[in-house]
Amino acid sequence: MENNHVLVIGGGISGIASALELANGGLSVYLIEKEATVGGYVASFCCKATDVCSNCSVCVVPQRIKEAVTHPQISLLTNSTVQKVSGEVGNFRVEITQKPQYIDAERCIACGLCAEVCPNEPKAIHLPSFEAVPYSYVLDETCCLHFKGEDCNLCRDRCPTNAIDFKRKSKSQELSVTTIIVATGFEVFDAREIGSLGYSRYPNVLTGLDLEEIFNREGTLKLASNGKEPQNIAFIQCVGSRNEEHCYCSQVCCKYAMRFARLIKYQNPSAEVTIFYIDLQTAGKGFAEFYKECKESIRFIPGVPVEVLEAHSGELEVKFENILEGKVNRETFDLVVLSVGIVPRKDSWDSARILGINLGDEGFFDAKPFDFNETNVEGIFLAGTCQGPKDIPDSIAHGMAAAKRAMEVLARCK
């Protein structure tokens, strides 16, 4: 087979894992990412170690990201999406569209001079994050004055490398690839869907994702309401999982809740932490010992809270059924964390249609039974959470497995 190109759709950890395996195995990879930066959700997550590692696996990611973006055999296309797929295994033709690159990431040196002169507040030109890869500025068209019709070219004129050009257009290209790996990832369950739990109504109700971002940015947890460390924290498990609409366990929530609980206690030993659960997921390498330690300092209450309300004191009152005692209790906390689960992306329907692959009952892409990577289309494979909930190590493994499937196709053709 002449062509030895593989397309990986999605630059999160699974996509990166697939791309690296293939590239290191001698193939050429197109890595397509919808956003301006790669790394997916995990790039904004935090380390949860106390005085020892708690095995969250967030730190295995930065190195892989760096390897992928500098690998000579991986062509990274950010701000790009797949519009059309035709052909068949061995010879897929894929139409990719890249959003207008008003800032050329190859010429942006991240000096920040553009942001200095941007008259907007908040700045319309900014860095996506402090860990962004590629480390390049991006333009927010929704608040940029130039795009609102004003004659503002301050950033363009200030840029020392002429990286900015408002006249750029979106670009399309057709890629010819032998196989396709779909690694489009997941979304986090929107906790607002369960109104009774108070998310977005009360500032001191947060989700697990919020905690990741807070610890990543600040290193410690302070209440939004008064800037102090919380003293009495409740974690509520299975928010958006194991219910009628999402009939599966999200696999990550019990673990992240316990790791955060331990981290909070480590930083503030006088804090009280309570975890409300249905079934505690404690399997996995090294977790049994961790769980044993958790039992010593964290309250575990079987029972799922039904309501979070604001108490007179300004604290949060949680109404829950304590299964062990068989009655309904109310307790107050100053912080409530909703352990939200993994749900399929809202745009999976679109992607499924473009690729011609099936969606399973839960809305994730469907893999063949006992295969886990293979779709109904020969030559298109699934990697990571787009196929179903997984934690970081499993997402990486699944990405590697998808790469192997793609490799097999090419090995067969030789």
Partner 1 sequence: MQVRIGIFICNCGKSLNNIDFPKVKERVEKFQDVVYVDLSPTLCLKEGREGMLSAIRERDVNRVVIAACSPELKENVFGKALEEAGLNYNFLSMANIREQCSWAHEGDVTEKALELVRMAANKARFLQPVEKKDISVNKEILVVGGGFSGMKSALELSGLGLRTTLVERESALGGKLGEFEGFYGIETTPEEMLSSTRKAVEENGDIKVLTSAEITRVEGQAGDFTVRIRTGEKQVSQSFGAIIFATGYVTKILPQDFELKPEVNIISQRKLVDMLQAPERLERRPGTIGFVLDVSDENSRLPILFTLNNALAVKERLGSEVYVFCKSLKVDSEGVEKLYREARERGVVFLKFEEKPRISKEDGRVKVEARDVLLGEEVTLLCDFLVAEEKVLPPEGTEALSSMLNIRTDSRGFYQDENVHLYPVASERKGIFFVAGCKGDLDFTRTSTDISSAAMSIYKLLSPEKAIVEVEKVKVEPEKCRACLTCVRVCPHGAIQMVRVDTEKEVAKIYDHACDGCGICAAICPAKAIRFEGYADEQILAEVEAIGESL
Partner 2 sequence: MNGEDNKIVAFCCEHSAYPVANKAGRMRLHYPDNVRIICVPCAGRVDVQHILKAFEKGAAGVLVMGCQEGACQHLTGNTRAKERVKYTESLLKEVGIDGGRVRMVNLAPDMAQRFIDEVKEMAEKIEGR
> At closest approach, how far in Å is the CB of 250 from partner 1?
8
Q: What is the DSSP string of 3-68?
A: --EEEEE--SHHHHHHHHHHHHTT-EEEEE-SSSSSSTTGGG-----SSS-----GGGHHHHHHHH
For partner 1, which residue of 142, 167, 269, 370 counts as binding (CB under 8 A)?
370
CB of 216 to partner 2, least distance (A): 5
Our CB check for partner 2 shows the closer of 59 and 411 to be 59
- Closest to partner 1 by CB, 75 vs 332, is 75
Is residue 165 within the footprint of partner 1 (CB under 8 A)? no
Degrees, nearest 5: CA angle 127-75-25: 125
**What angle in degrees, to the nearest 10, is found between the helix axes of 287-297 and 253-267?**
50
**123 touching partner 1, by CB under 8 A:** no
Question: What does the binding site for partner 2 look like in residue numbers (CB under 8 A)?
Answer: 45-47, 49, 51-53, 55, 58-59, 62-63, 127, 130-131, 135, 216, 218-220
Residue 230 per-residue DSSP state: P
Q: Give CA–CA dist 209/203, Å, rounded.
A: 15
DSSP letter for 148, please: G
On the CB side of 253, how many CA atoms lie within 13 Å of its CA?
29
Q: Show contacts with partner 1 in window 307-336 (CB under 8 A).
A: 323-324, 326
Name which of partner 2, partner 1, none residue 220 binds, using a CB cut-off of 5 to 8 Å depending on partner kind: partner 2
Give φ, ψ of 238 to 5 degrees. 60, 40
Q: Which of 34, 99, 111, 187 binds partner 1 (CB under 8 A)?
A: 111
Binding-site partner at residue 283 among partner 1, partner 2, none, CB < 5 to 8 Å by type = partner 1
- Using CA atoms, how far apart are residues 389 and 8, in angstroms rounded to an integer? 19
- Work out whether 219 is an interface residue with partner 1 (CB under 8 A): no
- Taking CB under 8 A as the criterion, the residue among 251, 274, 351, 375 binding partner 1 is 251
Q: Which helix (H) or strand (E) holds 378?
A: none
Among 2, 10, 70, residue whose Cα is nearest residue 35: 10
112 scored as a contact of partner 1 (CB under 8 A): yes
Q: How far is the CB of 249 from partner 1 (least distance, A)?
A: 4
Is residue 66 involved in binding partner 1 (CB under 8 A)?
yes
Binding span for partner 1 by CB under 8 A among 31-39, 184-192, 240-248, 307-315: 240-248
Residue 127, contacted partner among partner 2, partner 1, none, CB below 5-8 A by kind: partner 2
Rounded CA gap, 389 and 239, in Å?
Answer: 14
Q: From the list partner 2, partner 1, none, which binds 218 (C-beta under 5 to 8 Å, kind-based)?
A: partner 2
CB 110, min distance to partner 2, A: 8
142 binds, among partner 2, partner 1, none (CB under 5 to 8 A by kind): none
Please measure the distance between the N-terminal and C-terminal CA atoms of the chain and give it in whole angstroms.
6
For partner 1, give the closer residue by CB, 142 or 324: 324
Tell me how many residues contact partner 1 (CB under 8 A).
66
CA distance 85 to 168: 25
Q: What is the DSSP string of 57-83?
A: -GGGHHHHHHHHHH-TTEEEE-SEEEE
Helix (H, G, I), strand (E, B) or coil at 364: coil
Per CB under 8 A, residues contacting partner 1 are 21, 24-26, 53, 55-57, 59-60, 66, 70, 107, 109-113, 135, 159-161, 242, 247-249, 251, 254, 277, 279-289, 291, 302, 323-324, 326, 369-373, 388, 393-394, 396-398, 400-401, 403-405, 407-408, 411-412, 414
